[in-house]
């Protein structure tokens, strides 16, 4: 199998107002649209895109559908690439949540805390990796782009680079930015680029 480039493109800015946003289906705001356009131009300069996948949430899906139609690119839209399900916490102020559950992020990632009405970290990780494996089996071409969320990207970076989740989380992909890896089946992935959305 020939090596291919995988770009994990995080959606741009949304009007979250300091709230925890998981499954809440918000669109990109104007800045978010600009960020995605800049990153799309940049990642295509590095290597022309050959196929795409996307979360079903509109902050990812609308951009992905537009680019796929514009570039006649194969696109797989899969609900399993959606952000972590925070259940009753979704839409809550991060400040309020941190007051109620100090270090909630670390505890969730270590499977020590499950959001009420939400999913466990292990369930989240399993669905993301299953969706990714299935997409890779059918995907073709030398540059594959997944448009998704911060949590999904961290899970994939941890898996592909053979790193702990806590280490992968340090490689933060900003909203509208992307991580780009070189992958050869049977070998560890190689991180080539970690890019922010850049300036207007």
Cβ count near 32 (within 10 Å): 21
Q: Is the pLDDT of residue 200 over 60?
A: no
- Global model pTM greater than 0.85: yes
Mean pLDDT of 127-142: 96
What are the pLDDT digits (tens) for 55-88? Answer: 999 999 999 999 999 999 999 999 999 999 999 9
Mean pLDDT of 30-35: 97
What pLDDT was estimated at residue 167? 86
Lowest model confidence (mean pLDDT) among 9-18, 140-149, 179-188? 179-188
Class of the domain covering 4-195: alpha beta
CA 115 to chain CA centroid, nearest Å: 20
What are the pLDDT digits (tens) for 95-132? Answer: 999 999 999 998 998 888 999 999 999 999 999 999 99
Cβ count near 112 (within 10 Å): 12
Mean pLDDT of 163-183: 91
Question: What is the percent of the chain where pLDDT is above 90?
Answer: 86
What pLDDT was estimated at residue 111? 83
- DSSP for 131-189 reads HHHHHHHH--SSEEEEEE-HHHHHHHHHHHHT--HHHHHHS---TT-EEEEEE-TTS--
């Amino acid at each position: 199998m020939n090596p291919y480039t995988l770009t994990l493109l995080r959606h741009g800015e949304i009007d979250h107002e300091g709230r925890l946003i998981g499954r809440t289906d918000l669109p990109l705001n104007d800045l978010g649209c600009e960020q995605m356009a800049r990153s799309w131009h940049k990642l295509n300069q590095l290597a022309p895109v050959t196929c795409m996948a996307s979360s079903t949430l509109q902050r990812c899906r609308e951009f992905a559908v537009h680019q796929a139609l514009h570039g006649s690119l194969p696109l797989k839209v899969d609900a399993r690439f959606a952000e972590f399900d925070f259940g009753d916490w979704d839409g809550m102020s991060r400040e309020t949540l941190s007051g109620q559950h100090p270090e909630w992020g670390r505890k969730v990632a270590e499977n020590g805390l499950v959001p009420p009405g939400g999913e466990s970290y292990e369930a989240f990780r399993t669905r993301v990796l299953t969706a990714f494996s299935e997409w890779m089996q059918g995907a073709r071409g030398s540059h594959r782009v997944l448009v998704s969320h911060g949590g999904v990207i961290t899970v994939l970076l941890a898996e592909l680079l053979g790193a702990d989740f806590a280490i992968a989380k340090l490689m933060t992909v900003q909203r509208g930015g992307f991580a780009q890896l070189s992958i050869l089946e049977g070998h560890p992935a190689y991180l080539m680029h970690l890019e922010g959305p850049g300036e207007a």
